[in-house]
Amino acid sequence: MDTDFEITLQYKGTELLLQAHYVSTGYSYKINVEINGRIISFEPDEERNFRALLNEEDLAARDSIDKKLVEAIALQLVELFR
């Protein structure tokens, strides 16, 4: 079951509305989130938190990605999926 949904979160005093896509992968799943035109995948880890993964094309641009925003999204996903 693949599903599109939106993630709403407050970040640096601004409310963000991010497009996300739930992808079922065998016994697990991942959430693809679009951030500034880039797709970041979030997968649940062994502690039921989320780790962020970049695809190979976006790896070179990793310094331009706001790491605190990625952390905030991961925390919001924990709240949504617990």
Q: Please classify residue 24 by burial: count the beta carbons closer than 10 Å to its beta carbon, then call 0-12 exposed, 13-18 middle and 19+ buried.
A: exposed
Residue 63 C-alpha from the chain's centroid:
17
pTM: 0.87
Tens-level pLDDT at each residue, the chain (82 residues): 569 999 999 999 999 999 999 999 888 999 999 988 889 999 999 998 999 998 877 666 666 788 899 999 999 999 998 8
User: Is 35:18 a contact under the CB 8 Å cutoff?
Assistant: yes
